Structure 1
Amino acid sequence: MNRKKLQKLTDTLTKNCKHFNKFEVSCLIKLFYNLVGDVAERPGAVVGLDRNAFRNILYVTFGMTDDMIMDRVFRGFDKDNDGCVNVSEWVNGLSLFLRGSLEEKMRYCFEVFDLNGDGFISKEEMFHMLKNSLLKQPSEEDPDEGIKDLVETTLKKMDHDHDGKLSFADYEKAVREETLLLEAFGPCLPDPKDTEGL
């Protein structure tokens, strides 16, 4: 990418970016094109990070290992649902991912955890996300029982309107009372120690 194109793209993306300055946006654009590689040079090629490349970044850079959560994070970045993260989605996604306000992170985490996109986190969705969080003990007859207990405990703590599922209002209220509940269903944000100095 030539200097003039980079400058124009940097200016455009900086206007819409809340948490990065012009220099940081420029660095993120350069990093994006380094990650995409030679695809950017081919005429007519879709320039972006596909699901596998993006998941690899989440794994290598941020230590994420849960397949379901990584797919949901990818969907959170891929706003136009075209199957790849373009440069604009990359910069804006990282802005929220690395430096978003609590409000922005709550909305993002809720969307990640709302697996079917219906505006609620159901018991079934909680079960699917939490089943990877418990270590299975060889002596346990039904390991799913522990997960079901965890789902019920979670609902008691977070379901303020007692309807058996979490709305965004329930989730937001619970997180404001206890910020550790932001990632109650799995790590979908980078560990703060991984982002020191960013």
Structure 2
Amino acid sequence: MGSGRSHLEQEPELDSIEEETGFSRANLDRLHHRFRALDRNNKGYLNRMDLHSIKELDMNPLGDRIINSFFPDGGQCVDFRGFVRVLAHFRPVKENRDDNNPHKPEPLNSRNNKLRFAFQLYDLDCDGKISKKEMLQVLRLMVGVQVTEEQLEIIADRTVQEADEDGDGAVSFLEFSKSLEKMNVEHKMSIRILK
């Protein structure tokens, strides 16, 4: 009735994927169909070009940075588990979750993990800090030619200065989190179809 890896139930460690990502079986089934559609060569994994074929991602000014997040160790391919693991960061936060188990890892879609994901989009050299230069690079991607280079430099400088509490000229994750305290990150970094 189809090729060997055509059904979600044939994915290894499916129960573990469901628990780790928080996706329901129905959502995993939809994502698996999407994964298979992107995997045009039926390899069982996606490469960067496969992800660039997602129109919304390819058009996003931070698309390359988001695509890089699918390959955290510099790898060249991502399997289904890695694919849904990244997407889980964009799953809306459910109210009334069972948070009583201290041994259960923090959900991938928690505020803290959403902030870490966003932070990594800015931290281009992965040194744990966002420098003015990195802020400037991301701003260039986001605004394109609509703003002059001088205006971008002022915005980048001011943004880093406002968030940089320890005066080291860069923004740490803690400073980044603090600067976004009042922002509804849970809502802004959620895609409703990923419930």
What is the TM-score when the length of structure 2 is the normalising length? 0.75
Read off the aligned partner of 1:97 and give its amino acid letter.
F
Read off the aligned partner of 1:23 and give its amino acid letter.
A
Instruction: Tell me the residue number matched to 1:16.
Output: 20
Instruction: Tell me the residue number matched to 1:48.
Output: 45
Instruction: Tell me the residue number matched to 1:150.
Output: 155
Match of 2:192 among 178, 183, 196: 196
Establish whether residue 102 from structure 1 lines up as the match of residue 107 from structure 2: no
- Identity, in percent, stands at 25
Q: Distance in 2 between matches of 1:48 and 1:30?
A: 13
Across the aligned residues of Structure 1 and Structure 2, the Cα RMSD in angstroms comes to 2.8
Instruction: Tell me the residue number matched to 2:30.
Output: 27
Q: Distance in 2 between matches of 1:174 and 1:76?
A: 23
Tell me the alpha carbon deviations over residues 28-48 of structure 1, each in whole angstroms, 9 at most, x when there is no partner: 2232122203333xxxxxx32
Q: Distance in 2 between matches of 1:4 and 1:146?
A: 49
Read off the aligned partner of 2:45 and give its amino acid letter.
G
Read off the aligned partner of 2:52 and give its amino acid letter.
R
Question: What stretches of structure 2 of length at least 5 have no aligned partner?
Answer: 93-108
Q: 1:79: Cα distance to partner?
A: 3.2
Instruction: Tell me the residue number matched to 2:129.
Output: 120
Tell me the alpha carbon deviations over residues 4-57 of structure 1, each in whole angstroms, 9 at most, x when there is no partner: 85265532421322x3112222322232122203333xxxxxx32211221231
Q: 1:62: Cα distance to partner?
A: 5.1
3-12 or 22-31: bigger deviation: 3-12
Q: Is the 8 A contact 2:89 2:114 kept in 1?
A: yes
Question: What stretches of structure 1 of length at least 5 have no aligned partner?
Answer: 41-46, 183-188
Q: Which structure is higher in RCO with an 8 Å CA cutoff and minimum separation 6?
A: 2
Q: Secondary structure at the match of 2:192?
A: coil
Q: Distance in 2 between matches of 1:93 and 1:22?
A: 17
Establish whether residue 162 from structure 1 lines up as the match of residue 167 from structure 2: yes
Moved over 2 A (4+): 1-12, 37-40, 61-65, 131-137, 189-192, 195-198
Paired residues in the alignment total 173
Tell me the alpha carbon deviations over residues 148-190 of structure 1, each in whole angstroms, 9 at most, x when there is no partner: 11012212321122211111111011111x317x6xxxxxx98
Tell me the alpha carbon deviations over residues 47-89 of structure 1, each in whole angstroms, 9 at most, x when there is no partner: 32211221231xx2457432xx222212212234321221111
C-alpha change, 1:197 and 1:74, in structure 2 (3 Å) is: closer
Read off the aligned partner of 1:153 and give its amino acid letter.
R
C-alpha change, 1:119 and 1:135, in structure 2 (3 Å) is: closer
